[in-house]
Each structure stands twice: as C-alpha cells, then as structure tokens.
C-alpha cells in the first residue's frame, strides 16, 4: 500500500471500511425530502405520495442502516405498498457476521457509543479476541464480538428479547458475568 506521504507499507491484507453515503444529490431541487438519505415513513413512502425508497438510500426513523437484510425487508414493504397492498416496516435489529483472514466477527444492534448508557469492553490481544457490549436502559442494545463468537447467540437473544438485566452498577461487571445474567433471565 502506498500512502499519500509516499510511504510504502507491506501487509498480507488490508481491510478498511469507509461507511456508506446515500446518493441523493439528484433529488436536489425536487419535492422529495432528504437528510442523510431519502426520508420515508413506515410504508417506505416519501413525503411525495406514491414515491418510495428502500435500502441504502432510505432514511427511516432518523437512520440510514446500509445492511442487506434491512434493505430486503424495506424493499418488500415498498413493493407491497407500490402494488396497492398495505405493508408496514417494523424495525429489524441490524446484524452482521464476517469470517475473513481467519478472524470471525459478529456485530448486532446499536453499536454506536454515543447512544449507549454504558459499555463493557474486553480485549485479549494475544488471542485476537475483542468483545464490546452496549447497554441502554438496562438492556443490551448492541454488541461487537471479534474472534471467539461463542457468546453471540446469547447476546443476540438479549437484544431481540430486550431482556432487562436488573443490574444497577456496571462498573465492576465483566462480560462473562453479564452473559450469566442474560442466561438466567432469558428463560
């Protein structure tokens, strides 16, 4: 890889993500309202009747998610409504899994630090493992697991079922302790 300051960095592989940016410039001057994406309601309809948007360009509930499973669900809702049937989009928890370069990654839910009340982090560098759990209103709101993903199904259940953790202070709670709490409260 060559950098802008003319350095050369040799690596086996480089993976980087730059995020998504909705291509909405073509709507400038139109009646269709945009912010980060094309603003849509729960029918995936814009502010202009019979104009729909879905997927990476659609901004629903103040967010553009940019994941294929959400794009598919939004597209189905938009399609039904365009065909004269009634369909309502309901939030789907964002989930991403990746297995590349010998590393497994699991990410689910809201993993933006600024949206969390608290987060728990655990890193085991020599084993290439990282776990971060985001807590909001005493529930698991999101999680990132890199390396050993055995805890992913339990975290997924906690997010989907909105399990109340019943923990007052997270200062001295480990992720393993949190998982035991989830397991006990899951039933």
On whether the CB atoms of residues 146 and 177 are closer than 8 A, the answer is: no
pLDDT score, position 15: 65
Do residues 127 and 139 both lie within one domain? yes
101 in helix, strand or coil? coil
Tens of pLDDT, residue by residue over 145-176, are 999 999 999 999 999 999 999 999 999 999 99
Do residues 20 and 85 both lie within one domain? yes
On whether the CB atoms of residues 63 and 38 are closer than 8 A, the answer is: no
State the CATH number of the domain containing residue 31. 3.50.50.60
pLDDT, greater one: 35 or 67: 35
Do residues 29 and 86 both lie within one domain? yes
Using a 10 angstrom Cβ sphere, with 0-12 exposed, 13-18 middle and 19 or more buried, the burial of residue 81 is: buried
Range among 14-23, 29-38, 91-100 with highest mean pLDDT value? 29-38
On whether the CB atoms of residues 123 and 129 are closer than 8 A, the answer is: yes
- Of the residues 42, 67, 92, which one is the last residue of a structural domain? 92
CA pair distance 183, 179, nearest whole angstrom: 6
Q: Which domain holds residue 5?
A: 1-92
Residue with tokens 């709101």: 141
Report, as an integer, the average pLDDT of 109-128: 91
- Of the residues 92, 118, 142, which one is the last residue of a structural domain? 92
- Overall number of domains in the chain: 2
Do residues 33 and 71 both lie within one domain? yes
DSSP string, 24-37: -GGGTTSSS-BSSS
pLDDT grade, residue 4 (50/70/90)?
confident
Do residues 102 and 27 both lie within one domain? no
pLDDT score, position 78: 98
Do residues 116 and 38 both lie within one domain? no
pLDDT grade, residue 179 (50/70/90)?
very high
Do residues 73 and 114 both lie within one domain? no
Tens of pLDDT, residue by residue over 25-62, are 999 999 999 999 999 999 999 999 999 999 999 999 98
Do residues 31 and 100 both lie within one domain? no
CA pair distance 158, 68, nearest whole angstrom: 22
CA pair distance 34, 28, nearest whole angstrom: 9
State the CATH number of the domain containing residue 177. 3.30.390.30
Do residues 146 and 80 both lie within one domain? no
Do residues 114 and 160 both lie within one domain? yes
pLDDT score, position 96: 87
């Amino acid at each position: 890889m060559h950098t802008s300051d003319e350095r050369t960095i040799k690596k086996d592989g480089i993976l980087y993500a730059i995020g998504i940016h909705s291509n909405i410039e073509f709507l400038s001057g139109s009646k269709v309202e945009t912010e980060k994406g094309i603003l849509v309601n729960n029918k995936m309809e814009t502010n202009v009747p019979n104009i729909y948007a879905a997927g990476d360009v659609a901004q629903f509930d103040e967010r553009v998610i940019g994941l294929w499973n959400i794009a598919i669900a939004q597209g189905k809702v938009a399609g039904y409504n365009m065909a004269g049937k009634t369909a309502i989009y309901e939030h789907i928890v964002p989930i991403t899994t990746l297995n590349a370069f010998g590393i497994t990654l699991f990410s689910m839910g809201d993993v933006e630090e600024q949206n969390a009340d608290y987060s728990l982090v655990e890193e085991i560098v020599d084993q290439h493992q990282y776990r971060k759990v985001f807590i909001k209103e005493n529930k698991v709101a999101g999680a990132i697991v890199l390396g050993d993903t055995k805890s992913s199904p339990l975290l997924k259940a906690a997010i989907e079922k909105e399990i109340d953790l019943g923990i007052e202070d997270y200062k001295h709670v480990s992720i393993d302790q949190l998982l035991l709490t989830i397991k006990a409260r899951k039933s």
